[in-house]
Structures are given as structure tokens and as C-alpha cells.
Amino acid sequence: MAFHYPNGRKYVPAEKSTLEKSKRKNPSYGKRGMTLEDDINDSNQYYLDRGIAVIHKKPTPVQIVQVDYPARSAAVIKEAYFKQASTTDYNGIYKGKYIDFEAKETKNTTSFPFNNFHLHQIEHMRNIIKQRGICFVILRFSTTDELFLLEAKELLVFWERMENGGRKSMTKDEVREKGHRIILGFQPRIDYIKILDNIYQLDSST
Amino acid sequence: MAFHYPNGRKYVPAEKSTLEKSKRKNPSYGKRGMTLEDDINDSNQYYLDRGIAVIHKKPTPVQIVQVDYPARSAAVIKEAYFKQASTTDYNGIYKGKYIDFEAKETKNTTSFPFNNFHLHQIEHMRNIIKQRGICFVILRFSTTDELFLLEAKELLVFWERMENGGRKSMTKDEVREKGHRIILGFQPRIDYIKILDNIYQLDSST
């Protein structure tokens, strides 16, 4: 679909290959047509369209260094760097409740390593719990395409075990025991709201 | 403060002049040492440090087109464009409540024009209200440095007046009448949480 913006600048589609490369820290992304992020974004759009919940992915944080302003065209960012996010990637509201989560995946088949998580994301989750928000992670074992929703309070137990010298991961059995399996659907693909309804009995609170 | 990241790449500070230029659609920014955005970010940091609230500005949405990966250096974004935000700029949680707001300023002394607002931001506010979130705007009359907090439900009344053929702005008197004056302080600079406590009687709900 080639078109031009009214301002005369060419429409430049996001080049899939370039964008995927930018995710090379997470090499399991981009091996399917749809990424975990795509699936979650689609699910959020589904919730939004039906007035179920308002949850958005935060934009990727970028440190902008140089911007050009070509005549009669949109500003072009010519130099910028990826910054580490200081929060989780997704937040929003559902039935009056603040919702906050992060999505991570691993190729590992027997455990979920913590090197996927950043300390400030963990700190952020602690802060959200203190403020009585609903905070969790969506974990994907990409090899088997298994998804789990794990509440942040459970994740923190495993994280603190690591801080106290324990293993640098959660075993898959632990995730299975403490987490909630998400069965991939069609619409929405990842129906995490249904799981929140079950955990927090939100379904009847309207 | 010159330093290098552990990965060997030079620390590149955001050049004030370049960043300010990127806000040229909002020419009243950058005329002081501190911008409205700086003041709000500082206030959010104040709330965060003291465990009062967890509210963050969302990163500027950028469409990334080309990324270079120099050997042994951080990825460099070589071509990207500013995208229009699909939500408001700030959101988070305070005492279990979902908080969502946008900050806007005008050089106008007698009214606040609506050309500062985008339709999808207004739609987003409507969605947040439906989900029972706390949604508002912080309005700054930059010439006199007067700030007001105006609840989204009040803003929508004026917006709908415009949609029905009325004026394309709110008068300052209307903002004064329906809004809540924010007196600039030292710490935090913009104590909007105090105003929310008054409006929603959140202070005693803990």
C-alpha cells in the first residue's frame, strides 16, 4: 500500500527486517510471522475496540541526538540510541483497576532465565504492587509456544531467591505451578483479561 | 559530566537545542530553563521517590526505519520519524487508582485553543473515563505562568461544544471556573496529587 502523507513526505513503511534486527537481544522474536508483541498488541486492540479495557504498549524509549528538518518534509531523526526502559512495557486500565505488565520469552525449554529482566523493571513492579495495582508478566516458552501469566508478587519470590544466592531462573515447573496457563486463541490471541477476571474476581465488579 | 558507558560507547547527552527544536509545534516550550514537561517529570520523580505515586511520562513515539550496528558499539538509529501519540503522555497509579493525563500550554492570555489537542487523545480520554480512571489535563498559560488542572469530563464538554459548531477554544474564565488552580511549588513543583486528593477525597482511602 504505497501512499503519500498530505505533507508530501513519502510514506516509509517500517522495514520488518530492520525492526527485527533491533530486537536481536531477544533472538526468539521474529521467528514466526507474528511476534509475542504483535499478539499482545492485537489483543489490546481487541479489548479497546470492544470497550473492554484500555491497555497500550509504551513506545520504545529512544534518546534523540540529531534531528534534521528538510524543507516541506517531516522532521527526520538522523541519530538516536535505544534507551533502557524504566518501567514495564504495557499498562492501562480495566474496570477501574490499574494494569501493568511485561512480556518476555525464552527459547529455554526447562526454565525461564532472569537475564531477560532488568532490575529497574523489578523495582517498578514492586512500586506498582505497593500502590495496589495489578501487575504481572506474560511468559512465553517459544520452543513449545506455551504462555503463562505470572503475577509479579510470585515473580518477586523467585527473583529474591536469586538475590539470596539461588538459581538465576525459574524452573518451568515453578512457572506452571505459580502461574496461569494462557491458551492461545483466535480473538483475542492472548486473552489475559480472562485470567485476571479469574484471579481477582473482577468479572462481577462492574 | 563526561563519562563512557561500560560498552565503550561515548555518552551522548541530549542536545538541548536539538530537542527543543523537535518541539517547534509547541513554540512556548523552552523559553524558560525548565519546561512544563521538566516540571511534571520532576514532580513525578518526587512522588516516586517518596512512594506516593508511580506516574511516568511515556516515551516519544518514534517510527524507526534504519538502524546501524557498529562493531562493539551500541546500535545507532540512523533514520526515524516522529509519530503522533495515540494516548495521553502521562499515566500511572496513585492509591490503587489509574491516573491518566496530558499537559498542554498556550501563549494565549485569554483562552486555551483546542488545536493543541488531537482527536485520538480526546478519544483516549473518553475511553479512560468509561473505565473509571482519573483523567485530566494540566493547562499552562505560559505568558502568566498560570497552571490549572481540568478534569477530562469538563474538557469534553468544551470539546463537544466545538464539535457542535462552537468556539475552538475554552476561555480562560471557563478554565478558571471549571478547573483547579495549581500553585507552583518548590517540591514538588506541580503538586497535582494534592488536587486529586481534594477532588476525589483520595486522601483518607488508604
SS (H, E, C) A98-155: EEEEEEEEECCCCEEEHHHCCHHHHHHHHHHHHCCCEEEEEEEECCCCEEEEEEHHHH
Q: Which of A54, A61, A75 lies closest to B59 in CB terms?
A: A61
Helix (DSSP H) and strand (DSSP E) numbers for chain A: 6, 10
Q: Which of A51, A56, A67 lies closest to B18 in CB terms?
A: A67
CB distance from A88 to chain B under 8 Å? no
Q: Is A87 annotated as a binding residue?
A: yes
pLDDT given for residue B34 in this prediction: 79
> What is the average pLDDT across B114-119?
91
Distance from the Cα of B60 to chain A's closest Cα (Å) equals 7
With beta carbons less than 8 A apart as the criterion, state whether A28 and A20 touch. no
Q: Which residue of A has its CA nearest to B85?
A: A59
CB distance from B68 to chain A under 8 Å? no
Residues of B in contact with A200 (CB under 8 A): none
b or e along A170-180 (b: 16 or more beta carbons within 10 Å of the residue's beta carbon)? bebebbeebbb
**pLDDT over 50 at B8, yes or no:** no
Q: Which residues contact B80 (CB under 8 A, 6 or more apart)?
A: A62, A76, A77, A80, B62, B63, B64, B65, B66
CATH architecture for the domain at B16-200: 3-Layer(aba) Sandwich (3.40)
Domain spans, chain A: 28-59+86-200
State the best of A131, A196, A202, A206 to mutate against chain B, taking most chain B CBs within 10 Å: A131
pLDDT given for residue A30 in this prediction: 40
Cell of B60: 516519544
Q: Which residues contact A165 (CB under 8 A, 6 or more apart)?
A: none
CA dihedral B65, B69, B70, B74 (to 10 degrees): 100
With beta carbons less than 8 A apart as the criterion, state whether B82 and B60 touch. yes
Residue A158: how many CA atoms within 13 Å on its side-chain side? 24
Residues of B in contact with A15 (CB under 8 A): 65-66
**pLDDT over 70 at A13, yes or no:** no
Mean pLDDT is lowest, of A154-158, A199-203, B129-133, B154-158, for A199-203
* Helix or strand holding residue B56 (H, E): strand B54-57
Cell of B36: 512544563
Cell of A141: 516458552
| Contact between chains at A22 and B66 (C-beta distance less than 8 A) | no
DSSP labels for A46-67? Answer: HHHHTTS-EEEEPPPPEEEEEE
A68-120 per-position pLDDT tens digit: 998 888 899 999 999 988 899 999 999 999 999 999 999 999 999 999 899 99
Over pLDDT 90: what percentage of chain A? 76
Length of chain A: 206
pLDDT given for residue B15 in this prediction: 44
| Contact between chains at A132 and B95 (C-beta distance less than 8 A) | yes
CB distance from A82 to chain B under 8 Å? yes
pLDDT given for residue A59 in this prediction: 94
Q: Whole-angstrom Cα distance, residue B206 to residue B200?
A: 13
Distance from the Cα of B169 to chain A's closest Cα (Å) equals 25
Q: Which of A51, A64, A69 lies closest to B19 in CB terms?
A: A64
Three-state DSSP class for residue B126: helix
Q: Whole-angstrom Cα distance, residue B32 to residue B28?
A: 9
- Diameter over CA atoms, chain A: 59
The identity of residue A33, as a single letter, is G
Three-state DSSP class for residue B35: coil
In this structure, are strands B76-82 and A180-182 parallel, antiparallel, or unpaired? unpaired
Give the closest residue to A114 by CA, choosing from A181, A183, A160.
A160
Distance from the Cα of B8 to chain A's closest Cα (Å) equals 14
pLDDT given for residue B74 in this prediction: 87
Q: Which residues make beta-bridge pairs with B103?
A: B138
B18-49 per-position pLDDT tens digit: 444 444 444 444 444 679 999 999 999 999 99
Residues of B in contact with A26 (CB under 8 A): none
Distance from the Cα of A32 to chain B's closest Cα (Å) equals 21
Helix (DSSP H) and strand (DSSP E) numbers for chain B: 6, 10
Residues of A in contact with B85 (CB under 8 A): 59
Q: Whole-angstrom Cα distance, residue A175 to residue A203?
A: 25
With beta carbons less than 8 A apart as the criterion, state whether B108 and B74 touch. no
CATH code linked to domain A28-59+86-200: 3.40.1350.10
Q: Which residue reads 520504545 in cell numbers?
A: A60
- Give me the residues of A, 90-109, that contact B with CB < 8 A: 91-98, 100
Residue predicted with more confidence, B27 or B83: B83
| Contact between chains at A22 and B48 (C-beta distance less than 8 A) | no
